Structure 1
Amino acid sequence: MASSPISPRARRRRGAAFALTGAAALLVGLLAPSAAAADDFVSDAETSDNVTHVANIPKTEAMGDSFNSDLAFTGDYAIGGNYNGFVIYDISEPEQPEIVSEVLCPGGQGDVSVSGDLLYFSVDYARANEDCGAPAVPTSDPNGFEGIRVFDISDKTAPEYVTAVRTDCGSHTNTLVPGPDGEYDYVYVSSYSPSSNFPNCQPPHDKISVIEIPVDDPASAAIVEEPVLFPEGGNSGTAGCHDITAYPEKGIAAGACMGDGILMDISDPAHPVVTDVVRDPNFAFWHSATFTNNADTVMFTDELGGGGGAICTGEYGPERGADAIYDIGGSDAEPELGFEGYFKIPRVQSETENCVAHNGSLIPVPGRNFFIQSWYQGGVSVLDFNDPSNATEIGHFDRDPVDEDNLVIGGSWSAYYYNGYVYSSDITRGLDVLRLEDPRLRVAEQVHMDEFNPQSQPSYRPGRGHGRN
């Protein structure tokens, strides 16, 4: 999940653009048209020959004044986070997606994870209380709420607000780790940027929060652990983590913790343990991570400039604001990260386009390593990293600048492969759907997922259902 292209302190000062009344989530009617029929759709993007832009759903009026953020998937639905709440899309016909419902519940970032009928939603702008209608308050307010909100989405047309869990420094991102017995979910909450001026976000903040949610009683969700990941202090600038990607089947996780990249043992999901730490002189902001399917390699991303800078102009070179790929050696008990190589999109962008490495996922080609990744206004990149020391772009989707004359925030926040298509959450332009037409990727169409949280990786096998059934 992702950081906003605004500094953390600016995010906390800004708050939501409007406030609602009432305790429950506010459902809003369909305020935007569904995507045009595939035969009528005309793309405004440049694509490589093996990528086709098949659909776009513009942002609705209710979500239009705030950024779109991350995505999660369940069955025939995609759930799109937004700083004002979330939108549920019907993607049963991927080339003609439709909006099913949207929920106004402002709180910033809007990172999302889905687990069966439950949705976990990140709040990192302080609100007066836990209610969806609560107004914004300064981060210096000791009674302000930030953390995780829990929704029941069993009825996709009418999600219901269940409860909220307060966490120190709020929740910038959240990562689902299903419990081994199926009775509990664990959510790892990442947050950062403490200050002595913030009563609920005091330094040092070298920890994460672990929330335990009884699946049959989600209203009882509560923090069960707050493990300190850097007991001796992290690298310069490390004060919490930005995001964590779990691989529950393997019992491991990778954390992007601002100044450090880490591996963790999560075989006991309530009590994660750091097993290795790596630093990179070319990395400014460790942002996110993705494992290969066999978990012998991990890719970290560097969000140099916080998502708001034009980092793909050529001035910064191929090793900054890029992906860094590491081999995972050593033993299970004592893994060792070894650097293999960098990747950055070769398509030079203009000085008015914010562009840097951002959210992506594996394309499920068992035995091979292909990746789909967002680059803000650098668009969406299809990446071959079967040779981790020489990763290459093999496809792309790239729009013109949002503004030809001024640097404004926009572009693809997240791009993920799900059941035969790529879904891209564009900050300003809505949900895009892409079809990949490349023989190297065709076997991925045989992999069907029942549920997909990109920061909770499944193990891929052709023809097998994945996720919670």
Structure 2
Amino acid sequence: MFAHRRAVRALVVAATAAATLMSTVSAQANDIPPPGEVVTSPNVTHVGTLPKLPGLEATTNSDIAFQGDYAYVGNYGGFSIYDIRNPTRAKLVSGVLCPGSQMDVSVHGDLLFTAVDNSRNDDSCNSVGQTADIKESWEGVRIFDISDKKNPKYIKAVETACGSHTLTLVPGKGRDQRRNVYLYVSSYNPSAAFPDCQPPHDKISVIKVPLRKPTDAAVVATPVVFPDGGNETQPGLLLPTSGCHDITVYAEKDIAAGACMGDGVLFDISDRANPVVTERTTDPNFAFWHSATFNNRGNKVIFTDELGGGSLATCNEATGPTRGADAVYEIVKGKLVFKGYFKIGRHQTDTENCVAHNGSLIPVKGKDIMVQAWYQGGVSFVDFTDPANPREFGYFERGPEPDGGRGGIWSAYYYNGYVYASDFRRGLDVLRIDDRLTDPAKRVRMDRLNVQTQSSYPERRH
């Protein structure tokens, strides 16, 4: 049976020394912290919380991208820029009020790309929402010039079919790498009533961005991912497959993993503008394939299942450990081979929306370790080196939202020694983990991190 929350603290200390704490260590519902109160394992420190840009207080924080000494946090109403050169004294620099959910973000050089999957009356930052059945409605990708961090400038919009729920930045290949970047735009939910989002959809949009003249960015391809239709009849699906929710690329290896509603897929991306599906799988326990993370060697991938669409309380005993979870796969001769599930064992209340969400690798030689967001389940540190037996060895969370509403951590990513977690309501949490499993990562430095654009870290001693 699950251990009590206070007993978990002692067990995590033991795990830090012996590396034996398994993911089944958990808390009973009656050990839930008081509303809003921070609780951590002993190896995790809450450094602080950075506020949202004024004007974004009432809208939801979403994804994060990093470059140099800055973090860029998306928000349904725009984005915020933070100076994180000293994470213990990080500060808000600026941002932009520019509504249109979800505001998924990626950064490259002086360019910030944001995704809009919310039908607007035009592409401006003064737009208002209007229904997608109006032909003139706009949704897609906005591009900002961030060369002046205190004064970002909106420079271009690209409309895409069914909008842009998420976007993935893909570097060019070979000589093209200095000339262009590409964006894989994921979208879904077509309707015969939507002029620019017709069924069956089943495709992604590829935007080519010339780096010397980003205002010439345009859609150059719309490859169909599911020419024979995706997974539409499996019982328990949140939505039938009509496109992809998110794609993670590993450009060095010319591969990508697609989390595509009812399907998990692998792509060959050797031709950047024409990704080709090479493998496809389904899972009877998955309701909605949400996101993907490769390990450093590119021979494993974790897919997440957003059971309930992020709105429901699914981190409880009734839901169980195999739904709303991570699924760990090995890639064997190009095929996805299922190895095991991971789900936090820290049960949440029936008011707390909680399910597997966005995370990133922690760069440790010879280990497969990640940090991951779970909405009101907080932040989990997971070792999946043994793919059949992934385990949690640290955590951060808060008690339920005081008003009983939705909240929690959208994304939690490791960047240069710290973890940054975007909280729906509060802003940007800064965390530090001190653990023998993760300490080697402190010697690995990155100059940019778009989590869905994976690049390798050295598999050698630093």
TM-score by length of 2: 0.89
SS in 2 for 1:132: coil
1:75 corresponds to 2:72? no
| Whole-Å separation in 2 of the counterparts to 1:289 and 1:89 | 26
Residues 105 and 112, structure 2, Cα contact 8 Å, conserved in 1 = yes
Residues 365 and 460, structure 2, Cα contact 8 Å, conserved in 1 = no
Aligned-pair distance for 1:107?
1.0
1:274 corresponds to 2:277? yes
- Match in the other structure for 2:258: 255
Aligned-pair distance for 1:159?
0.6
Residues 365 and 461, structure 2, Cα contact 8 Å, conserved in 1 = no
1:177 corresponds to 2:170? yes
For 1:64, which of 29, 51, 57 is the aligned residue? 57
Pairing 1:120-135 to 2, within 5 Å after superposition: 120-135=113-128
For 1:430, which of 427, 450, 456 is the aligned residue? 427
Residues 376 and 412, structure 1, Cα contact 8 Å, conserved in 2 = yes
SS in 1 for 2:87: coil
Aligned-pair distance for 1:134?
1.9
- Match in the other structure for 2:444: 447
Identical columns (%): 59
4+ aligned runs moved over 4 Å, structure 1:
462-465
Residues 313 and 352, structure 2, Cα contact 8 Å, conserved in 1 = yes
| Whole-Å separation in 1 of the counterparts to 2:110 and 2:448 | 11
- Match in the other structure for 1:264: 267
Write out per-residue CA displacement over residues 182-221 of structure 1, whole angstroms, 9 at most, x where no aligned residue.
2100000000111111111110110000000000100000
- Match in the other structure for 1:21: none
Pairing 1:236-255 to 2, within 5 Å after superposition: 236=232, 237-255=240-258
- Match in the other structure for 1:353: 352
| Whole-Å separation in 2 of the counterparts to 1:138 and 1:451 | 37
Aligned-pair distance for 1:44?
4.0
For 2:293, which of 290, 293, 313 is the aligned residue? 290
- Match in the other structure for 1:380: 379
- Match in the other structure for 1:91: 84
For 2:323, which of 312, 315, 320 is the aligned residue? 320
- Match in the other structure for 2:412: 415
Write out per-residue CA displacement over residues 149-168 of structure 1, whole angstroms, 9 at most, x where no aligned residue.
01100111101111100000
SS in 2 for 1:111: strand
What code does the residue aligned with 1:222 have?
Answer: A
Residues 447 and 462, structure 1, Cα contact 8 Å, conserved in 2 = no
Write out per-residue CA displacement over residues 340-393 of structure 1, whole angstroms, 9 at most, x where no aligned residue.
000000101111100000000000112210010000000000001111000000
SS in 2 for 1:388: coil
For 1:233, which of 226, 229, 233 is the aligned residue? 229
| Whole-Å separation in 2 of the counterparts to 1:223 and 1:63 | 30
1:370 corresponds to 2:373? no
| Whole-Å separation in 1 of the counterparts to 2:71 and 2:366 | 27
Residues 448 and 463, structure 1, Cα contact 8 Å, conserved in 2 = no
Unaligned runs of 5+ in 2: 1-35, 233-239
Pairing 1:6-45 to 2, within 5 Å after superposition: 44-45=37-38
Residues 293 and 367, structure 1, Cα contact 8 Å, conserved in 2 = no
Residues 257 and 287, structure 1, Cα contact 8 Å, conserved in 2 = yes
SS in 2 for 1:324: strand
SS in 1 for 2:133: coil
| Whole-Å separation in 1 of the counterparts to 2:287 and 2:221 | 29
| Whole-Å separation in 1 of the counterparts to 2:290 and 2:374 | 13
Residues 51 and 92, structure 2, Cα contact 8 Å, conserved in 1 = no
What code does the residue aligned with 1:420 have?
Answer: G
Residues 446 and 463, structure 1, Cα contact 8 Å, conserved in 2 = no
What code does the residue aligned with 1:288 have?
Answer: S
In structure 2, do the counterparts of structure 1 residues 383 and 119 end up closer, same or farther at CA, with 3 Å as the change threshold?
A: same
What code does the residue aligned with 2:59 have?
Answer: S
Write out per-residue CA displacement over residues 293-329 of structure 1, whole angstroms, 9 at most, x where no aligned residue.
0001000000000000000011111000000000100
Aligned-pair distance for 1:125?
1.0
SS in 1 for 2:438: helix
| Whole-Å separation in 2 of the counterparts to 1:121 and 1:366 | 32
SS in 2 for 1:448: coil
SS in 2 for 1:410: coil
Residues 308 and 354, structure 1, Cα contact 8 Å, conserved in 2 = yes
Residues 446 and 462, structure 1, Cα contact 8 Å, conserved in 2 = no
| Whole-Å separation in 2 of the counterparts to 1:297 and 1:59 | 35
| Whole-Å separation in 1 of the counterparts to 2:134 and 2:255 | 37
Pairing 1:143-154 to 2, within 5 Å after superposition: 143-154=136-147
Q: CA RMSD in A?
A: 1.4
Residues 72 and 454, structure 1, Cα contact 8 Å, conserved in 2 = yes
| Whole-Å separation in 2 of the counterparts to 1:70 and 1:463 | 30
1:195 corresponds to 2:191? yes
SS in 2 for 1:449: coil
TM-score by length of 1: 0.87
- Match in the other structure for 1:12: none
Residues 365 and 443, structure 1, Cα contact 8 Å, conserved in 2 = yes
- Match in the other structure for 2:336: 337
